[in-house]
């Protein structure tokens, strides 16, 4: 029923590896990994192991593997890559902990879509990684997850942004995302003025400055509108419908892990507290 396809595209020396899962021929989920100069950024999902390893075998060499975060569509083939090339993937220290027992944190629908990665050893990453021709800075960028890192090559202006950006307007949020940390990460990264962004969801992006600013503006506008809704005494459901439209289809498919409700709740957690702190009125109805 579920099938997988892999497509590679070159942007200069960077190879984008797009992996798509299809249900009855219709693309449902996609994720990108990237390769440049012996560096592999993320390892895709375990259900497409065969195709992914075949692609990796076609690269001139693989010297270094970095995971942007622990999610199973980014770390799915760590174990097999380690075994095949004798390399220990690197990531945030928390990523190394997550990868000791992936089955403890992967929900059922994600096991179905992506597969469950085997436990894999990893090494904590330093603040800088060098390949033969490039120097990559490792930036802690929490928000999407608590272990998220971006990888930045300052001379080329390349930013490997993992799942930090995703898209300019994202209405669905994971239950464990911290929108305020995400906003802070987006602003810090935008200040570097990257010249090309390699996003794990949207692929290569030519004008990352514009894209990052649009995402920042979208989230800040949403934050202001949520606060306005609280002041008007609206319920969280009313705010959600007003700002994100009716329906919340992913909520049921994903057992509540990804939803519009999570997006509103992520703002409410802090907005409500800060409004109460300054003596705001219009308490929130559930």
Question: Contact positions toward Fe ion, by CB under 5 A?
Answer: 71, 163
CB of 4 to Fe ion, least distance (A): 18
Q: Could you tell me if 71 and 26 are in contact, meaning their C-beta atoms sit under 8 angstroms apart?
A: no
CB of 216 to Fe ion, least distance (A): 19
Q: Closer CB to Fe ion, residue 73 or residue 227?
A: 73
User: Using alpha carbons only, how large is the chain's radius of gyration in Å?
Assistant: 19
CB of 91 to Fe ion, least distance (A): 13
CB of 166 to Fe ion, least distance (A): 9
CB of 233 to Fe ion, least distance (A): 35
Q: Could you tell me if 96 and 122 are in contact, meaning their C-beta atoms sit under 8 angstroms apart?
A: yes
Torsion of CA 211, 22, 69, 120, to 10 degrees: -160
Q: Closer CB to Fe ion, residue 148 or residue 260?
A: 148
H or E stretch covering 41: strand 39-41
Q: Closer CB to Fe ion, residue 175 or residue 238?
A: 175
Kindly give, in sequence order, each residue whose CB lies less than 8 Å from that of residue 221, ignoring residues fewer than 6 positions away: none
Q: Closer CB to Fe ion, residue 162 or residue 208?
A: 162
d(CA 107, CA 176): 13
Q: Closer CB to Fe ion, residue 147 or residue 248?
A: 147
């Amino acid at each position: 029923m579920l099938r997988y396809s892999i497509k590679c595209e070159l942007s200069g020396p960077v190879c984008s590896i797009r992996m798509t899962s299809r249900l009855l021929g219709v693309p449902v989920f996609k994720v990108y990994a990237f390769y440049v100069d012996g560096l592999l950024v993320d390892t895709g999902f375990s259900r497409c192991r065969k195709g992914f390893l075949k692609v990796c075998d076609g690269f001139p060499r693989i010297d270094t593997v970095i995971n942007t975060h622990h999610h199973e569509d980014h770390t799915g083939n760590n174990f097999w890559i380690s075994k095949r090339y004798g390399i220990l993937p690197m990531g945030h220290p928390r990523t190394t902990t997550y990868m000791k027992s992936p089955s403890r944190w992967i929900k059922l629908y994600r096991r179905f879509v992506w597969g469950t990665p085997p436990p894999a050893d990893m090494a904590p990453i330093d603040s800088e990684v060098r390949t033969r021709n490039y120097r990559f800075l490792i930036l802690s960028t929490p928000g999407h997850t608590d272990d998220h890192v971006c990888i930045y090559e300052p001379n080329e202006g390349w930013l490997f942004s993992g799942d930090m950006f995703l898209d300019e307007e994202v209405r669905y949020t994971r239950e464990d995302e911290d929108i305020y940390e995400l906003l802070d990460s987006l602003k810090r990264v935008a200040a570097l003025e990257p010249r090309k962004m390699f996003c794990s969801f949207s692929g290569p992006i030519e004008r990352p400055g514009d894209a990052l600013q649009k995402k920042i503006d979208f989230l800040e506008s949403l934050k202001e509108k949520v606060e306005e809704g609280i002041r008007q005494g609206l319920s969280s459901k009313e705010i959600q419908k007003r700002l994100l439209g009716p329906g919340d289809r992913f909520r049921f498919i994903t057992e509540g892990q990804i939803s519009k409700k999570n997006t509103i709740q992520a703002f409410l957690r802090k907005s409500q507290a800060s409004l109460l702190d300054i003596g705001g009125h219009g308490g929130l109805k559930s």
